Chain A
Amino acid sequence: MGEPPQQLIRDARRGKEEALLRLFDEHHLPLFRFAWRLTGSIADAEDIVQDCFVALLRPDCGFDPARTTVRTYLFGAVRNQWLKRLRRQEQRLAPEPMDHRTPETETLRNEVTRVVAGAIAELPATQREVLLLAHYEQLSLAAIAEIMQLEITAVKSRLQRARAALREILAAYAPERSGLYERQ
Chain B
Amino acid sequence: MNDNELDRLLDLWEAPPPRRSLRDGLQARFPRSDRRGFASPLRWALAILLASVALAGAVAIAQSSDTLSDLPVVRTLNDLYQNFLEARQAGRAKSIVTRIAESEPQVFVDGRSVAPLEFGPAATMNVQIPGEGVYSITSYPVAERRTADGRPTGWVEAGHIHGKVIEFRAAGKQVRIECNKPIVDGDRPVFAIHRP
Residues in A lying within 8 Å of B, measured CB to CB: 12, 15, 17-18, 20-21, 24, 28-29, 32-33, 36-37, 42, 45-46, 49-50, 53-54, 57, 100, 109, 112-113, 116-117, 120, 135-136, 163, 166-167, 170-171, 173-176, 180-181
Q: Which of A20, A37, A113 meets B12, CB within 8 Å?
A: A113
20 A-B interface contacts by CB (under 8 A): A12-B30, A15-B33, A17-B30, A37-B15, A42-B16, A46-B18, A46-B19, A46-B21, A46-B25, A50-B25, A50-B29, A53-B26, A54-B30, A112-B12, A116-B12, A120-B10, A136-B15, A167-B6, A170-B1, A175-B8
Given known A-B contacts A116-B12, A170-B6, A175-B5, A29 and B18 have beta carbons under 8 A apart: yes
Q: Is the CB of A174 within 8 A of B25?
A: no
Given known A-B contacts A28-B22, A53-B26, A167-B6, A100 and B13 have beta carbons under 8 A apart: yes
Residues in B lying within 8 Å of A, measured CB to CB: 1, 3, 5-10, 12-16, 18-19, 21-23, 25-27, 29-33, 98
Contacts of B32 in A (CB 8 A): 15, 17
Q: Is the CB of B6 within 8 A of A163?
A: yes
Q: Is the CB of A167 within 8 A of B15?
A: no
Q: Is the CB of A112 within 8 A of B23?
A: no
Q: Is the CB of B10 within 8 A of A173?
A: no
Contacts of B98 in A (CB 8 A): 18
Q: Is the CB of B21 within 8 A of A21?
A: no
- Rounded to whole Å, the gap between the CB of B122 and the closest CB of chain A is 14
Chain B interface, >50% SS class: helix
- For A112, the closest partner residue in chain B by CB is B12
Given known A-B contacts A167-B1, A170-B1, A50 and B9 have beta carbons under 8 A apart: no
Which residue, B5, B27, B33, has most C-beta atoms of chain A within 10 A? B5
Q: Which of B12, B18, B23, B31 meets A109, CB within 8 Å?
A: B12
- Rounded to whole Å, the gap between the CB of B125 and the closest CB of chain A is 16
- Rounded to whole Å, the gap between the CB of A81 and the closest CB of chain B is 14
Q: Is the CB of B13 within 8 A of A120?
A: yes
Q: Is the CB of A21 within 8 A of B27?
A: yes
- Rounded to whole Å, the gap between the CB of B75 and the closest CB of chain A is 34
Nearest 4 A-B pairs (CB), nearest first? A33-B15, A32-B18, A174-B1, A116-B13
Q: Is the CB of B30 within 8 A of A20?
A: yes
Contacts of A100 in B (CB 8 A): 13
Contacts of B7 in A (CB 8 A): 135
Beyond contacts A28-B23, A166-B6: 12 other A-B pairs, Cβ-Cβ < 8 A, are: A17-B32, A20-B26, A24-B23, A24-B26, A36-B15, A37-B15, A49-B22, A50-B22, A50-B26, A116-B13, A120-B10, A173-B9
